[in-house]
Amino acid sequence: MRRLPPLNALRAFEAAARHLSFTRAAVELHVTQAAISHQIKALEEWLGMALFKRQNRALLLTDAGQAYLPPLRESFDRIQDATARLQARDRSGALTVSTFTSFAAKWLVPKLGRFAAAHPDIEVRLAINDALVDLVSDTVDVGIRYGSGDWRGLRAERLMTEVVFVVCSPRLLDGPAPLRRPEDLRHHTMLHDDLPEDWDTWLEAAGVGGIKARRDLAFNHSEMVLQAAIDGLGVALGRSVLVADDLAAGRLVKPFDLELPTQAAYYLVCLEGTQDRPKVKAFRDWVMAEVAREAAAPAPPARPIPPAAGETVTATA
């Protein structure tokens, strides 16, 4: 917990130190000279040291006052600049949304047309960045993040959790090495990204041993992995949120039922106190409606191919 002096006392000191006058500080802050004197006395008592000294009717700063003024002035300047940016941003019709590449490509962008149709007066600007952005310094109105939901200074609202499962092109179901059971993965290239739920974890959960990835292809973005899977280059681990549209459209299929839960979730974030601004609220309500729409849609079932003639296949978990 921060232990800070009273804000009014700091404002009184900064103004008086800048003008070297209690009278001019009182005029600037629209209070009486006595109020300025009282605030500065309270601040000096709180600090346990004098900040001003009077010599021949002149007001001077003590060594402590001279050391205290520059960082305090810089802090007030930064607050003023941040406030001006926020106010200018709120007056603008544009809405800046920050999110990461895979979520933008596979979930957000395909749906943005519906937001534009519902809110033609709001211009949406996407700020795509896989690093964690500062909503203040990067002048971002709202963000969609993936993680634990604990981000200091931000209001975070959970959107979606997800599970991870195997996906592939439907062409692989009818190919020369069809996927009937998890053991058949030994005949396929396993596509990788930066998911913590990697292939070893999935194979262990499926009870499959002795399989190593063959002719690996690795990517640093999930949308690249999924595109490679759509193109039939191999089999991927897909996040349910990112593959929903591809499954619904038949570009990908889910050959096995086994799903692994993830610890993280998707969150809508904004600065504390900005959630009720009209354009932020409009975007939040729209995202929530899209999440509800997707949750209500039936999930595509796993689609293993039929067993070969005379073959008996046991169900996978």
Q: Give every CB contact of residue 228 below 8 A, 6+ residues apart in sequence.
A: 191, 217, 219, 234, 236
Host domain of residue 107: 92-155+266-296
Distance CA 109, CA 119 (A): 15
**Cα→Cα distances 123→31, 104, 113, 142, 284, Å:** 43, 16, 12, 13, 15
What 129-133 contacts at long range (C-beta under 8 Å, 24+ apart), as own/partner pairs, is 129/98, 129/100, 130/100, 130/101, 130/221, 133/98
What does the pLDDT read at residue 213? 54
Beta-carbon contacts of residue 213 (< 8 Å; ≥ 6 apart)? 189, 190, 192, 199
- Residue 159 burial by CB count (10 A; 0-12/13-18/19+): exposed, middle or buried? buried
Determine, yes or no, domain membership for 283: yes
Does some domain include residue 108? yes
Residues 169 and 251 in one domain: yes
The answer to whether residue 310 is domain-embedded is no
Q: What secondary structure, in 3-state letters, does 277-309 show?
A: CHHHHHHHHHHHHHHHHHHHCCCCCCCCCCCCC
Instruction: Establish if 231 belongs to a structural domain.
Output: yes
Supply the pLDDT for residue 90: 57
Q: Residue 306 has what pLDDT? A: 46
Residue 232 lies in a domain: yes
Number of folded domains that form the chain: 3
Looking at the structure, tell me whether residues 150 and 283 fall in a common domain: yes
Together in a domain, 97 and 85: no
Q: Where are the alpha helices (DSSP H) in the chain?
A: 7-19, 22-29, 33-47, 63-91, 101-103, 112-118, 199-205, 222-230, 240-249, 278-296
Residues 130, 272: one domain? yes
Give, for all 317 residues of the chain, the pLDDT tens digit. Answer: 678 899 999 999 999 999 999 999 999 999 999 999 999 999 999 999 999 998 877 899 999 999 999 999 999 999 888 887 766 655 556 899 999 999 999 999 999 999 999 999 899 999 998 888 778 766 889 999 999 998 888 999 999 999 999 999 999 987 788 888 899 998 888 998 765 557 888 998 999 887 765 556 778 888 999 999 999 999 999 999 999 999 999 999 999 999 999 889 999 999 988 899 999 999 999 999 999 998 887 766 655 444 444 444 333 33
What is the pTM assigned to this prediction?
Answer: 0.65
The domain that contains 216 carries what CATH number? 3.40.190.10
Q: Does residue 80 form part of some domain? A: yes
CA distance 16 to 72: 12
Give the CATH number, domain containing residue 70.
1.10.10.10
Kindly state whether residues 149 and 278 are assigned to the same domain.
yes
In terms of domains, do 137 and 278 share one? yes
Q: Looking at the structure, do residues 206 and 257 belong to the same domain, yes or no?
A: yes
